[in-house]
Structure 1
Protein backbone atom coordinates (compact mmCIF):
# COMPACT_ATOMS: atom_id res chain seq x y z
CA UNK A 1 0.00 0.00 0.00
CA UNK A 2 1.33 3.43 -0.97
CA UNK A 3 2.44 5.56 1.97
CA UNK A 4 1.72 9.16 0.97
CA UNK A 5 2.25 10.74 4.40
CA UNK A 6 5.20 13.12 4.77
CA UNK A 7 6.59 12.61 8.27
CA UNK A 8 8.80 14.54 10.66
CA UNK A 9 10.15 12.37 13.50
CA UNK A 10 10.68 13.80 17.00
CA UNK A 11 12.79 11.70 19.39
CA UNK A 12 15.91 11.67 21.52
CA UNK A 13 16.31 8.62 23.73
CA UNK A 14 17.33 5.02 22.96
CA UNK A 15 13.60 4.25 23.25
CA UNK A 16 12.99 6.39 20.13
CA UNK A 17 15.45 4.57 17.87
CA UNK A 18 13.42 1.40 17.41
CA UNK A 19 10.42 3.38 16.18
CA UNK A 20 12.48 5.42 13.72
CA UNK A 21 14.31 2.34 12.45
CA UNK A 22 11.05 0.43 11.91
CA UNK A 23 9.43 3.38 10.14
CA UNK A 24 12.34 3.56 7.71
CA UNK A 25 12.38 -0.21 7.23
CA UNK A 26 8.66 -0.16 6.46
CA UNK A 27 9.18 2.44 3.74
CA UNK A 28 7.68 5.51 5.40
CA UNK A 29 8.76 8.89 4.05
CA UNK A 30 10.56 10.47 7.01
CA UNK A 31 11.65 13.90 5.81
CA UNK A 32 13.72 14.94 8.83
CA UNK A 33 14.47 14.19 12.47
CA UNK A 34 14.13 16.63 15.37
CA UNK A 35 16.20 15.71 18.42
CA UNK A 36 17.84 17.31 21.45
CA UNK A 37 21.24 18.96 21.35
CA UNK A 38 24.33 16.77 21.67
CA UNK A 39 25.62 16.32 25.22
CA UNK A 40 29.01 16.16 26.87
CA UNK A 41 29.70 13.55 29.54
CA UNK A 42 32.49 11.96 31.54
CA UNK A 43 35.65 13.45 32.98
CA UNK A 44 36.89 14.53 29.58
CA UNK A 45 33.48 15.98 28.65
CA UNK A 46 33.33 13.64 25.67
CA UNK A 47 30.97 14.74 22.91
CA UNK A 48 27.97 12.38 22.75
CA UNK A 49 25.41 12.26 19.95
CA UNK A 50 21.76 11.59 20.70
CA UNK A 51 21.00 7.98 19.63
CA UNK A 52 18.34 9.14 17.19
CA UNK A 53 20.80 11.54 15.56
CA UNK A 54 23.25 8.71 14.94
CA UNK A 55 20.54 6.70 13.20
CA UNK A 56 19.43 9.69 11.12
CA UNK A 57 23.00 10.41 9.99
CA UNK A 58 23.37 6.76 8.96
CA UNK A 59 20.36 7.23 6.69
CA UNK A 60 21.57 10.66 5.44
CA UNK A 61 18.52 12.42 6.83
CA UNK A 62 18.36 16.11 7.84
CA UNK A 63 18.68 16.56 11.61
CA UNK A 64 17.34 19.59 13.50
CA UNK A 65 18.61 20.18 17.05
CA UNK A 66 16.99 23.35 18.40
CA UNK A 67 17.82 24.77 21.81
CA UNK A 68 14.10 25.55 22.03
CA UNK A 69 11.65 23.64 19.85
CA UNK A 70 9.69 26.81 18.97
CA UNK A 71 12.76 28.13 17.11
CA UNK A 72 12.35 25.78 14.15
CA UNK A 73 8.79 26.41 12.98
CA UNK A 74 9.96 27.99 9.71
CA UNK A 75 12.51 25.24 9.05
CA UNK A 76 9.87 22.55 9.57
CA UNK A 77 7.35 24.35 7.36
CA UNK A 78 9.78 24.13 4.42
CA UNK A 79 9.37 20.32 4.44
CA UNK A 80 5.56 20.62 3.99
CA UNK A 81 4.93 17.70 6.38
CA UNK A 82 1.54 16.05 6.73
CA UNK A 83 2.14 14.32 10.08
CA UNK A 84 4.58 14.26 12.94
CA UNK A 85 5.61 11.18 14.90
CA UNK A 86 6.87 11.76 18.44
CA UNK A 87 8.55 9.08 20.55
CA UNK A 88 10.34 10.08 23.77
CA UNK A 89 11.45 13.53 22.61
CA UNK A 90 11.74 15.02 26.09
CA UNK A 91 10.11 18.45 25.73
CA UNK A 92 6.65 19.96 25.45
CA UNK A 93 5.67 20.71 21.84
CA UNK A 94 4.07 24.19 21.48
CA UNK A 95 0.97 25.00 19.44
CA UNK A 96 3.02 26.79 16.76
CA UNK A 97 4.74 23.48 15.96
CA UNK A 98 1.65 21.26 16.28
CA UNK A 99 -0.24 23.51 13.85
CA UNK A 100 2.35 22.84 11.12
CA UNK A 101 1.01 19.28 10.72
CA UNK A 102 -2.41 19.03 9.00
CA UNK A 103 -2.79 15.45 10.25
CA UNK A 104 -1.43 16.22 13.70
CA UNK A 105 1.47 14.69 15.63
CA UNK A 106 1.17 11.02 16.59
CA UNK A 107 2.71 10.23 19.98
CA UNK A 108 3.79 6.77 21.18
CA UNK A 109 3.61 6.68 25.00
CA UNK A 110 4.75 3.69 27.13
CA UNK A 111 1.70 3.31 29.35
CA UNK A 112 -2.01 2.59 29.12
CA UNK A 113 -3.25 6.17 29.09
CA UNK A 114 -4.76 7.93 30.96
CA UNK A 115 -2.70 5.99 33.51
CA UNK A 116 0.90 7.05 34.09
CA UNK A 117 1.04 10.28 32.15
CA UNK A 118 4.29 12.19 32.36
CA UNK A 119 8.04 11.61 32.14
CA UNK A 120 8.63 8.36 34.07
CA UNK A 121 5.88 5.80 33.31
CA UNK A 122 8.25 2.84 32.96
CA UNK A 123 9.93 3.43 36.30
CA UNK A 124 6.63 4.11 38.06
CA UNK A 125 4.85 0.93 36.95
CA UNK A 126 7.80 -1.05 38.34
CA UNK A 127 7.75 0.94 41.59
CA UNK A 128 4.03 0.29 41.99
CA UNK A 129 4.35 -3.45 41.36
CA UNK A 130 1.89 -3.42 38.46
CA UNK A 131 1.07 -6.72 36.76
CA UNK A 132 0.63 -5.07 33.38
CA UNK A 133 1.51 -1.92 31.50
CA UNK A 134 1.17 -1.10 27.83
CA UNK A 135 1.55 1.26 24.90
CA UNK A 136 -0.69 4.06 23.68
CA UNK A 137 -0.80 5.83 20.33
CA UNK A 138 -2.40 9.22 20.77
CA UNK A 139 -2.84 12.49 18.93
CA UNK A 140 -0.61 15.06 20.58
CA UNK A 141 -2.38 17.89 22.41
CA UNK A 142 -1.17 20.93 24.32
CA UNK A 143 -1.86 19.22 27.66
CA UNK A 144 0.78 16.62 28.51
CA UNK A 145 -0.20 13.09 27.43
CA UNK A 146 -3.89 14.04 27.39
CA UNK A 147 -4.68 13.79 23.68
CA UNK A 148 -7.24 11.38 22.22
CA UNK A 149 -6.04 7.79 21.82
CA UNK A 150 -5.95 5.90 18.51
CA UNK A 151 -5.02 2.47 19.84
CA UNK A 152 -3.53 0.68 22.85
CA UNK A 153 -1.62 -2.54 23.47
CA UNK A 154 -1.49 -4.40 26.79
CA UNK A 155 1.85 -5.77 27.99
CA UNK A 156 2.03 -8.27 30.87
CA UNK A 157 4.72 -7.92 33.53
CA UNK A 158 6.50 -10.71 35.40
CA UNK A 159 7.57 -8.64 38.41
CA UNK A 160 11.24 -9.21 37.55
CA UNK A 161 11.72 -6.41 35.01
CA UNK A 162 14.04 -3.49 35.61
CA UNK A 163 13.93 -0.15 33.83
CA UNK A 164 16.43 -1.20 31.19
CA UNK A 165 14.85 -4.54 30.29
CA UNK A 166 11.30 -3.17 30.28
CA UNK A 167 12.27 -0.09 28.27
CA UNK A 168 14.03 -2.29 25.70
CA UNK A 169 11.01 -4.57 25.43
CA UNK A 170 8.53 -1.69 25.12
CA UNK A 171 10.71 0.08 22.56
CA UNK A 172 10.66 -2.98 20.30
CA UNK A 173 6.94 -3.63 20.79
CA UNK A 174 6.24 0.08 20.40
CA UNK A 175 8.00 0.35 17.06
CA UNK A 176 5.99 -2.60 15.74
CA UNK A 177 2.77 -1.19 17.19
CA UNK A 178 3.40 2.19 15.55
CA UNK A 179 4.06 0.69 12.13
CA UNK A 180 1.01 -1.59 12.39
CA UNK A 181 -1.32 1.35 13.02
CA UNK A 182 0.25 4.26 11.17
CA UNK A 183 -1.37 3.63 7.79
CA UNK A 184 -4.86 3.67 9.32
CA UNK A 185 -4.04 6.79 11.33
CA UNK A 186 -2.62 8.76 8.42
CA UNK A 187 -5.46 7.85 6.04
CA UNK A 188 -7.96 8.70 8.80
CA UNK A 189 -9.63 5.29 8.88
CA UNK A 190 -8.74 5.03 12.59
CA UNK A 191 -10.30 7.76 14.73
CA UNK A 192 -8.90 8.72 18.15
CA UNK A 193 -11.08 8.45 21.25
CA UNK A 194 -10.95 10.97 24.14
CA UNK A 195 -9.23 9.87 27.34
CA UNK A 196 -11.20 9.53 30.58
CA UNK A 197 -9.79 12.41 32.60
CA UNK A 198 -11.24 11.13 35.87
CA UNK A 199 -8.98 8.06 35.61
CA UNK A 200 -5.76 9.97 34.88
CA UNK A 201 -2.64 9.39 36.99
CA UNK A 202 0.72 11.12 36.73
CA UNK A 203 4.42 10.37 37.05
CA UNK A 204 7.15 12.77 38.10
CA UNK A 205 10.48 13.91 36.72
CA UNK A 206 13.03 11.83 38.62
CA UNK A 207 15.87 13.46 40.54
CA UNK A 208 19.11 12.03 41.91
CA UNK A 209 17.86 12.24 45.50
CA UNK A 210 14.94 9.93 44.67
CA UNK A 211 17.43 7.06 44.64
CA UNK A 212 18.58 7.46 48.26
CA UNK A 213 17.55 4.63 50.60
CA UNK A 214 17.19 5.10 54.38
CA UNK A 215 15.59 1.71 55.25
CA UNK A 216 12.40 3.33 56.58
CA UNK A 217 10.13 1.62 54.03
CA UNK A 218 9.14 -2.03 53.41
CA UNK A 219 11.68 -4.37 51.83
CA UNK A 220 9.41 -4.97 48.82
CA UNK A 221 9.36 -1.21 48.13
CA UNK A 222 13.16 -1.05 48.00
CA UNK A 223 13.42 -4.20 45.88
CA UNK A 224 11.16 -2.57 43.32
CA UNK A 225 13.05 0.71 43.57
CA UNK A 226 16.35 -0.97 42.74
CA UNK A 227 14.81 -2.38 39.56
CA UNK A 228 12.97 0.83 38.65
CA UNK A 229 15.97 3.11 39.14
CA UNK A 230 18.68 0.86 37.64
CA UNK A 231 19.46 3.41 34.90
CA UNK A 232 18.65 6.68 36.69
CA UNK A 233 18.75 7.90 39.42
CA UNK A 234 20.13 4.53 40.67
CA UNK A 235 19.49 3.31 44.21
CA UNK A 236 22.11 4.56 46.66
CA UNK A 237 22.74 3.76 50.31
CA UNK A 238 25.33 4.58 52.94
CA UNK A 239 27.04 1.55 54.47
CA UNK A 240 29.30 2.81 57.24
CA UNK A 241 31.44 5.52 55.66
CA UNK A 242 30.79 4.28 52.13
CA UNK A 243 28.08 5.20 49.63
CA UNK A 244 27.28 2.35 47.27
CA UNK A 245 24.93 1.88 44.33
CA UNK A 246 22.65 -1.15 44.50
CA UNK A 247 22.22 -2.84 41.13
CA UNK A 248 20.44 -6.01 42.24
CA UNK A 249 18.49 -6.87 45.38
CA UNK A 250 16.05 -9.45 46.65
CA UNK A 251 13.80 -9.87 49.65
CA UNK A 252 15.34 -12.06 52.37
CA UNK A 253 13.74 -14.02 55.21
CA UNK A 254 16.16 -12.67 57.80
CA UNK A 255 19.77 -11.66 58.41
CA UNK A 256 22.42 -14.24 57.50
CA UNK A 257 26.17 -14.29 58.14
CA UNK A 258 28.27 -13.63 55.05
CA UNK A 259 25.48 -11.91 53.13
CA UNK A 260 24.84 -8.17 52.82
CA UNK A 261 21.33 -8.01 54.25
CA UNK A 262 19.68 -4.89 55.72
CA UNK A 263 16.58 -4.60 57.88
CA UNK A 264 13.69 -2.55 56.51
CA UNK A 265 10.33 -1.56 58.00
CA UNK A 266 9.17 -4.27 57.68
CA UNK A 267 11.27 -7.05 56.17
CA UNK A 268 14.85 -7.73 55.12
CA UNK A 269 16.58 -6.87 51.86
CA UNK A 270 19.65 -8.62 50.50
CA UNK A 271 21.98 -6.44 48.44
CA UNK A 272 22.93 -9.04 45.87
CA UNK A 273 25.06 -6.80 43.66
CA UNK A 274 26.52 -3.35 44.31
CA UNK A 275 28.87 -0.82 42.78
CA UNK A 276 31.54 -0.05 45.37
CA UNK A 277 33.05 3.43 45.92
CA UNK A 278 35.92 2.29 43.68
CA UNK A 279 33.44 1.95 40.80
CA UNK A 280 33.79 -1.83 40.73
CA UNK A 281 30.71 -4.01 40.37
CA UNK A 282 30.75 -6.80 42.96
CA UNK A 283 28.53 -9.12 44.93
CA UNK A 284 27.23 -7.99 48.30
CA UNK A 285 29.21 -10.79 49.94
CA UNK A 286 32.45 -9.59 48.31
CA UNK A 287 31.72 -6.04 49.45
CA UNK A 288 31.37 -7.28 53.03
CA UNK A 289 34.75 -8.99 52.81
CA UNK A 290 36.49 -5.96 51.32
CA UNK A 291 35.01 -3.01 53.20
CA UNK A 292 34.38 -2.19 56.83
CA UNK A 293 30.80 -1.16 57.54
Structure 2
Protein backbone atom coordinates (compact mmCIF):
# COMPACT_ATOMS: atom_id res chain seq x y z
CA UNK A 1 0.00 0.00 0.00
CA UNK A 2 1.35 3.40 -0.90
CA UNK A 3 1.93 5.83 1.94
CA UNK A 4 0.51 9.32 2.18
CA UNK A 5 2.24 11.86 4.41
CA UNK A 6 -0.14 14.50 5.77
CA UNK A 7 0.85 18.14 5.70
CA UNK A 8 2.42 19.41 8.91
CA UNK A 9 -0.72 21.24 9.99
CA UNK A 10 -2.97 18.28 9.34
CA UNK A 11 -0.54 15.85 10.99
CA UNK A 12 -0.91 17.77 14.27
CA UNK A 13 -4.72 17.59 14.13
CA UNK A 14 -5.73 15.03 16.78
CA UNK A 15 -7.80 12.10 15.57
CA UNK A 16 -10.00 9.87 17.69
CA UNK A 17 -10.42 6.49 16.01
CA UNK A 18 -13.54 4.37 16.57
CA UNK A 19 -13.18 0.71 15.57
CA UNK A 20 -13.53 -2.84 16.79
CA UNK A 21 -13.49 -5.48 14.06
CA UNK A 22 -10.45 -6.73 12.13
CA UNK A 23 -11.67 -4.59 9.21
CA UNK A 24 -10.87 -1.52 11.34
CA UNK A 25 -7.23 -2.46 11.75
CA UNK A 26 -6.31 -1.70 8.15
CA UNK A 27 -7.35 1.94 8.50
CA UNK A 28 -5.83 2.44 11.95
CA UNK A 29 -2.51 0.96 10.84
CA UNK A 30 -2.48 3.12 7.70
CA UNK A 31 -3.14 6.32 9.64
CA UNK A 32 -0.43 5.56 12.20
CA UNK A 33 2.15 4.61 9.56
CA UNK A 34 1.33 7.75 7.56
CA UNK A 35 2.05 9.96 10.56
CA UNK A 36 -1.44 11.09 11.56
CA UNK A 37 -1.83 12.09 15.21
CA UNK A 38 -4.03 9.41 16.80
CA UNK A 39 -5.03 10.89 20.16
CA UNK A 40 -7.10 7.88 21.27
CA UNK A 41 -8.72 4.67 20.06
CA UNK A 42 -12.28 3.93 21.14
CA UNK A 43 -13.29 0.28 20.89
CA UNK A 44 -15.73 -2.17 22.43
CA UNK A 45 -14.90 -3.85 25.73
CA UNK A 46 -13.01 -7.14 25.58
CA UNK A 47 -15.38 -10.07 25.01
CA UNK A 48 -15.36 -13.79 25.76
CA UNK A 49 -15.43 -16.09 22.75
CA UNK A 50 -15.17 -19.72 21.79
CA UNK A 51 -15.60 -22.89 23.77
CA UNK A 52 -12.84 -21.87 26.17
CA UNK A 53 -14.70 -18.61 26.97
CA UNK A 54 -11.37 -16.81 26.67
CA UNK A 55 -11.33 -13.03 27.02
CA UNK A 56 -10.35 -11.60 23.62
CA UNK A 57 -9.12 -8.05 22.94
CA UNK A 58 -10.36 -6.26 19.80
CA UNK A 59 -7.72 -6.20 17.07
CA UNK A 60 -7.48 -2.41 17.14
CA UNK A 61 -6.79 -2.46 20.88
CA UNK A 62 -3.87 -4.80 20.37
CA UNK A 63 -2.42 -2.59 17.63
CA UNK A 64 -2.99 0.65 19.57
CA UNK A 65 -1.37 -0.77 22.71
CA UNK A 66 1.71 -1.80 20.71
CA UNK A 67 2.02 1.80 19.51
CA UNK A 68 1.35 3.36 22.93
CA UNK A 69 -1.93 4.95 21.83
CA UNK A 70 -4.52 5.47 24.61
CA UNK A 71 -7.38 2.97 24.36
CA UNK A 72 -10.85 3.69 25.73
CA UNK A 73 -13.42 0.89 26.04
CA UNK A 74 -16.57 2.50 27.41
CA UNK A 75 -19.78 0.57 27.92
CA UNK A 76 -21.54 3.90 27.39
CA UNK A 77 -20.09 6.53 25.09
CA UNK A 78 -21.45 9.32 27.26
CA UNK A 79 -18.97 8.23 29.93
CA UNK A 80 -16.05 9.55 27.83
CA UNK A 81 -17.52 12.88 26.72
CA UNK A 82 -15.26 14.77 29.11
CA UNK A 83 -12.20 12.85 27.87
CA UNK A 84 -12.97 13.82 24.28
CA UNK A 85 -13.57 17.45 25.27
CA UNK A 86 -10.16 17.52 26.95
CA UNK A 87 -8.42 16.85 23.62
CA UNK A 88 -7.11 20.06 22.06
CA UNK A 89 -7.47 21.31 19.46
CA UNK A 90 -10.95 19.96 18.77
CA UNK A 91 -10.34 16.47 17.32
CA UNK A 92 -11.51 14.79 14.13
CA UNK A 93 -13.39 11.51 14.49
CA UNK A 94 -12.76 8.52 12.23
CA UNK A 95 -15.01 5.47 12.47
CA UNK A 96 -14.40 2.11 10.79
CA UNK A 97 -16.53 -0.89 11.78
CA UNK A 98 -17.04 0.15 15.41
CA UNK A 99 -20.24 -1.81 15.96
CA UNK A 100 -22.29 0.67 17.98
CA UNK A 101 -24.65 3.51 17.12
CA UNK A 102 -23.01 6.89 17.74
CA UNK A 103 -25.37 9.49 19.28
CA UNK A 104 -25.44 13.01 17.87
CA UNK A 105 -24.07 14.39 21.14
CA UNK A 106 -20.85 12.47 20.44
CA UNK A 107 -20.70 13.32 16.72
CA UNK A 108 -20.96 17.03 17.56
CA UNK A 109 -17.76 16.87 19.64
CA UNK A 110 -15.64 16.47 16.51
CA UNK A 111 -14.51 18.70 13.65
CA UNK A 112 -15.77 18.31 10.97
CA UNK A 113 -17.71 15.49 12.62
CA UNK A 114 -16.91 11.78 12.34
CA UNK A 115 -15.62 10.37 9.05
CA UNK A 116 -16.81 6.83 8.27
CA UNK A 117 -15.34 4.16 5.98
CA UNK A 118 -18.13 1.90 4.64
CA UNK A 119 -17.47 -1.13 2.38
CA UNK A 120 -20.16 -0.58 -0.25
CA UNK A 121 -21.10 1.99 -2.86
CA UNK A 122 -23.70 3.85 -0.82
CA UNK A 123 -26.62 4.26 -0.85
CA UNK A 124 -26.52 0.55 -1.76
CA UNK A 125 -26.22 -1.79 1.21
CA UNK A 126 -26.69 0.50 4.16
CA UNK A 127 -26.24 -1.70 7.21
CA UNK A 128 -23.86 -4.16 8.88
CA UNK A 129 -23.30 -6.82 6.17
CA UNK A 130 -22.51 -5.07 2.85
CA UNK A 131 -19.58 -7.33 1.98
CA UNK A 132 -21.57 -10.52 2.49
CA UNK A 133 -24.51 -9.05 0.58
CA UNK A 134 -22.40 -8.14 -2.45
CA UNK A 135 -20.99 -11.68 -2.67
CA UNK A 136 -24.27 -13.48 -1.97
CA UNK A 137 -26.17 -11.40 -4.51
CA UNK A 138 -23.49 -12.02 -7.16
CA UNK A 139 -22.92 -8.32 -7.73
CA UNK A 140 -20.53 -7.43 -10.52
CA UNK A 141 -19.18 -4.43 -8.64
CA UNK A 142 -18.81 -3.20 -5.08
CA UNK A 143 -16.53 -0.62 -3.49
CA UNK A 144 -15.78 1.68 -0.58
CA UNK A 145 -17.42 4.93 0.50
CA UNK A 146 -15.82 7.66 2.61
CA UNK A 147 -18.69 9.52 4.21
CA UNK A 148 -19.73 11.81 7.03
CA UNK A 149 -21.40 9.99 9.90
CA UNK A 150 -25.00 10.79 10.80
CA UNK A 151 -27.29 9.18 13.35
CA UNK A 152 -29.36 7.58 10.60
CA UNK A 153 -27.59 4.37 9.60
CA UNK A 154 -25.09 4.93 6.77
CA UNK A 155 -27.17 7.84 5.47
CA UNK A 156 -24.62 10.65 5.75
CA UNK A 157 -23.27 12.69 2.83
CA UNK A 158 -20.47 11.19 0.74
CA UNK A 159 -16.94 12.59 0.39
CA UNK A 160 -15.60 10.00 -2.02
CA UNK A 161 -16.30 6.55 -3.49
CA UNK A 162 -14.19 4.05 -5.37
CA UNK A 163 -15.55 0.98 -7.15
CA UNK A 164 -14.06 -2.52 -7.08
CA UNK A 165 -15.00 -5.19 -9.65
CA UNK A 166 -16.08 -8.68 -8.57
CA UNK A 167 -15.52 -11.89 -10.55
CA UNK A 168 -17.73 -14.35 -8.59
CA UNK A 169 -14.77 -16.08 -6.92
CA UNK A 170 -14.29 -13.79 -3.90
CA UNK A 171 -14.82 -15.22 -0.45
CA UNK A 172 -15.91 -13.35 2.66
CA UNK A 173 -12.42 -13.10 4.26
CA UNK A 174 -10.76 -12.22 0.95
CA UNK A 175 -13.13 -9.34 0.23
CA UNK A 176 -12.87 -8.06 3.82
CA UNK A 177 -9.11 -7.81 3.35
CA UNK A 178 -9.34 -6.26 -0.12
CA UNK A 179 -11.89 -3.60 0.82
CA UNK A 180 -10.22 -3.02 4.19
CA UNK A 181 -6.98 -2.16 2.43
CA UNK A 182 -8.75 -0.07 -0.20
CA UNK A 183 -10.67 1.83 2.48
CA UNK A 184 -7.46 2.51 4.39
CA UNK A 185 -5.76 3.86 1.28
CA UNK A 186 -8.68 6.13 0.41
CA UNK A 187 -8.91 7.38 4.00
CA UNK A 188 -5.24 8.38 3.99
CA UNK A 189 -5.64 10.15 0.66
CA UNK A 190 -8.82 12.06 1.44
CA UNK A 191 -8.62 12.80 5.16
CA UNK A 192 -6.32 15.86 4.90
CA UNK A 193 -8.66 17.55 2.42
CA UNK A 194 -11.68 16.63 4.54
CA UNK A 195 -10.11 18.12 7.67
CA UNK A 196 -9.06 21.30 5.86
CA UNK A 197 -12.49 21.73 4.25
CA UNK A 198 -11.21 21.47 0.68
CA UNK A 199 -13.28 18.32 0.10
CA UNK A 200 -16.99 18.78 0.80
CA UNK A 201 -19.54 15.94 0.97
CA UNK A 202 -22.49 15.35 -1.36
CA UNK A 203 -25.87 14.15 0.01
CA UNK A 204 -26.95 10.60 -0.77
CA UNK A 205 -29.98 9.86 -2.93
CA UNK A 206 -32.21 8.23 -0.32
CA UNK A 207 -34.61 6.99 -3.01
CA UNK A 208 -31.89 4.57 -4.20
CA UNK A 209 -31.05 3.21 -0.76
CA UNK A 210 -30.99 -0.54 -0.12
CA UNK A 211 -30.34 -2.24 3.20
CA UNK A 212 -28.60 -5.30 4.61
CA UNK A 213 -29.14 -6.88 8.01
CA UNK A 214 -26.94 -8.25 10.77
CA UNK A 215 -26.07 -11.88 10.11
CA UNK A 216 -26.83 -14.58 12.68
CA UNK A 217 -26.47 -18.34 13.00
CA UNK A 218 -29.96 -18.63 11.54
CA UNK A 219 -28.50 -17.48 8.21
CA UNK A 220 -26.19 -20.50 7.99
CA UNK A 221 -28.72 -23.03 6.71
CA UNK A 222 -28.57 -23.77 2.97
CA UNK A 223 -31.88 -24.70 1.35
CA UNK A 224 -31.23 -26.08 -2.15
CA UNK A 225 -34.96 -26.25 -2.84
CA UNK A 226 -35.20 -22.48 -2.48
CA UNK A 227 -31.88 -21.46 -4.06
CA UNK A 228 -30.45 -21.81 -7.54
CA UNK A 229 -27.08 -23.52 -7.73
CA UNK A 230 -25.43 -20.14 -8.40
CA UNK A 231 -27.12 -18.62 -5.37
CA UNK A 232 -26.12 -21.52 -3.11
CA UNK A 233 -22.49 -21.39 -4.25
CA UNK A 234 -22.38 -17.62 -3.74
CA UNK A 235 -23.85 -17.94 -0.25
CA UNK A 236 -21.11 -20.41 0.68
CA UNK A 237 -18.45 -17.87 -0.32
CA UNK A 238 -20.31 -15.00 1.36
CA UNK A 239 -20.66 -16.82 4.69
CA UNK A 240 -17.34 -18.67 4.72
CA UNK A 241 -16.11 -17.31 8.06
CA UNK A 242 -19.45 -16.48 9.70
CA UNK A 243 -22.15 -17.70 9.95
CA UNK A 244 -20.88 -20.45 7.58
CA UNK A 245 -23.11 -22.62 5.40
CA UNK A 246 -24.69 -25.78 6.76
CA UNK A 247 -26.39 -28.56 4.84
CA UNK A 248 -27.84 -31.88 6.02
CA UNK A 249 -26.48 -34.69 3.85
CA UNK A 250 -27.44 -38.20 4.86
CA UNK A 251 -27.00 -38.47 8.61
CA UNK A 252 -24.49 -35.61 8.76
CA UNK A 253 -24.98 -31.89 9.30
CA UNK A 254 -22.03 -30.52 7.35
CA UNK A 255 -20.40 -27.12 7.05
CA UNK A 256 -19.75 -26.52 3.35
CA UNK A 257 -16.61 -24.51 2.60
CA UNK A 258 -16.21 -24.88 -1.18
CA UNK A 259 -18.44 -25.85 -4.09
CA UNK A 260 -18.97 -25.37 -7.81
CA UNK A 261 -21.84 -25.79 -10.26
CA UNK A 262 -22.53 -28.83 -12.42
CA UNK A 263 -25.39 -30.00 -14.61
CA UNK A 264 -24.80 -33.72 -14.14
CA UNK A 265 -24.49 -35.32 -10.67
CA UNK A 266 -21.63 -37.73 -10.10
CA UNK A 267 -21.42 -38.16 -6.31
CA UNK A 268 -23.79 -38.02 -3.31
CA UNK A 269 -22.34 -34.55 -2.64
CA UNK A 270 -23.81 -33.15 -5.86
CA UNK A 271 -27.02 -31.55 -4.60
CA UNK A 272 -29.91 -30.62 -6.89
CA UNK A 273 -31.03 -27.00 -6.57
CA UNK A 274 -34.17 -25.06 -7.45
CA UNK A 275 -33.06 -24.33 -11.03
CA UNK A 276 -32.31 -27.96 -11.85
CA UNK A 277 -28.54 -27.49 -11.71
CA UNK A 278 -26.42 -29.14 -9.05
CA UNK A 279 -24.28 -27.72 -6.27
CA UNK A 280 -21.16 -29.87 -6.44
CA UNK A 281 -19.59 -29.80 -2.99
CA UNK A 282 -15.81 -30.07 -3.09
CA UNK A 283 -14.78 -29.27 0.49
CA UNK A 284 -16.45 -29.62 3.90
CA UNK A 285 -15.74 -29.41 7.60
CA UNK A 286 -16.20 -33.02 8.69
CA UNK A 287 -17.77 -34.15 11.98
CA UNK A 288 -14.19 -34.44 13.27
CA UNK A 289 -13.82 -30.67 12.87
CA UNK A 290 -11.21 -30.96 10.12
CA UNK A 291 -11.55 -29.36 6.70
CA UNK A 292 -11.34 -32.13 4.11
CA UNK A 293 -12.09 -32.71 0.44
CA UNK A 294 -15.39 -34.17 -0.69
CA UNK A 295 -13.66 -37.38 -1.77
CA UNK A 296 -11.98 -37.75 1.63
CA UNK A 297 -15.32 -37.22 3.34
CA UNK A 298 -17.04 -39.91 1.26
CA UNK A 299 -14.22 -42.36 2.01
CA UNK A 300 -14.25 -41.71 5.74
CA UNK A 301 -17.94 -41.13 6.39
CA UNK A 302 -20.20 -43.54 4.49
CA UNK A 303 -23.65 -42.08 3.94
CA UNK A 304 -26.73 -43.98 5.02
CA UNK A 305 -29.12 -44.66 2.17
Fold match by TM threshold 0.5: yes
Paired with 2:197 and 2:273, the residues of 1 have a C-alpha distance of 54
Alpha carbon RMSD of aligned pairs, Å? 1.1
Q: 5 Å matches for 1:131-146?
A: 131-146=140-155
Query: How many angstroms does 1:109 deviate by?
Result: 0.4
Query: How many angstroms does 1:209 deviate by?
Result: 1.1
Paired residue for 2:76, among 61, 68, 71? 68
The answer on 1:88 being equivalent to 2:72 is no
The answer on 1:18 being equivalent to 2:26 is yes
- Taking structure 2 as the reference length, what is the TM-score of the superposition? 0.93
> 2:173–2:240: 8 Å Cα contact kept in structure 1?
yes
Alignment gaps of 5+ in structure 2: 1-6
Q: 5 Å matches for 1:99-114?
A: 99-114=108-123
The answer on 1:208 being equivalent to 2:217 is yes
Q: Residue in 2 aligned with 1:288?
A: 298
The answer on 1:272 being equivalent to 2:282 is yes
Q: Residue in 1 aligned with 2:166?
A: 157
- Taking structure 1 as the reference length, what is the TM-score of the superposition? 0.97
> 2:93–2:111: 8 Å Cα contact kept in structure 1?
no
Q: Residue in 1 aligned with 2:180?
A: 171
Paired residue for 1:228, among 238, 260, 266? 238
Paired with 1:173 and 1:117, the residues of 2 have a C-alpha distance of 18
* Deviation per residue, 1:6-37 (Å, 9 max, x gap): 11000011111110011011111110000011
Query: How many angstroms does 1:214 deviate by?
Result: 2.4
Number of residue pairs aligned between Structure 1 and Structure 2? 292
Paired with 1:50 and 1:58, the residues of 2 have a C-alpha distance of 13
The answer on 1:116 being equivalent to 2:125 is yes
Alignment gaps of 5+ in structure 1: none
- Residue 54 of structure 1 aligns to a residue whose secondary structure is helix
- Residue 144 of structure 2 aligns to a residue whose secondary structure is strand
Q: Residue in 1 aligned with 2:4?
A: none
